[in-house]
Amino acid sequence: MAINLQKGQKINIGLSKITVGLGWDPNEGTGFDFDLDASAIMINEDRKLLGESYFIFYNNLISPDGSLEHTGDDPDGKSSDGDDDEAIKVDMSKIDANVNEILFVVTIEDFERRKQNFGQVRNSYIRIVDNANGEEIAKYELDEDFSIETGVEFGRLYKKNGEWKFEASGIGYKADLSFFLEKYYSGEIIK
């Protein structure tokens, strides 16, 4: 049975292969389609990106270590049919030893021109699925009203005492994809 997580709640993962599914339903009638994009940011213990290739998104689908695979962009949110809008497969056994955290963020493409924000998005969630049997083991439904935010950290995987854990984050930013790249980019390539 899946665990329904609250904001800030943490769980042990204890699995080697998972899928992080992310979903959302934009409100109708805003005049434009919503293009929400899921990304994963692989950072070290100093909270810095290992290198640009460790920023996993629609233009960089696989991490250099082969541990993360983005299943692809859903540019208008219409191809999910009630399932995850976008997903990232994670093989815990392949994660580079320098990676201490993996942040899962969702941003709204072209939000300024389209005058869009997360206040116009409902039913947002992040969930962890066991790839061995397809069972959902945990889900966090974001119920905050992000009325001005255009980028949200839904959740994060992090390593503590050699074990991977998951935390339901729900942290909003008035930001786009480049903000997250700049925030965690150290300017030096580790690999």
Q: Is residue 190 part of a domain?
A: no
- Full domain range(s) for residue 120: 3-27+47-184
Return the pLDDT at 78: 52
Is residue 18, in this structure, part of any structural domain at all? yes
Closest CA to 180 of 28, 52, 29, 13: 52
Q: Tell me, what's the pLDDT at 87? A: 96
Asked if residue 41 belongs to a domain, the reply is: no
Q: Is-contact 86 104, C-beta < 8 A?
A: no
**What is the domain-level CATH number for residue 177?**
2.60.60.30
pTM passes above 0.75: yes
Q: Where are the alpha helices (DSSP H) in 21-126?
A: 111-114
Residue 81 has pLDDT above 50, yes or no: no
Does residue 141 fall inside a structural domain? Answer: yes
Q: State the Cα–Cα distance between residues 99 and 126, nearest whole angstrom.
A: 21
98 located within any domain: yes
Asked if residue 115 belongs to a domain, the reply is yes
Residue 72 located in a structural domain = yes
The total number of structural domains in the chain stands at: 1
Of 100 and 176, the structure prediction assigns the larger pLDDT to 100
Residue pLDDT, tens place only, 85-99: 999 999 999 999 999
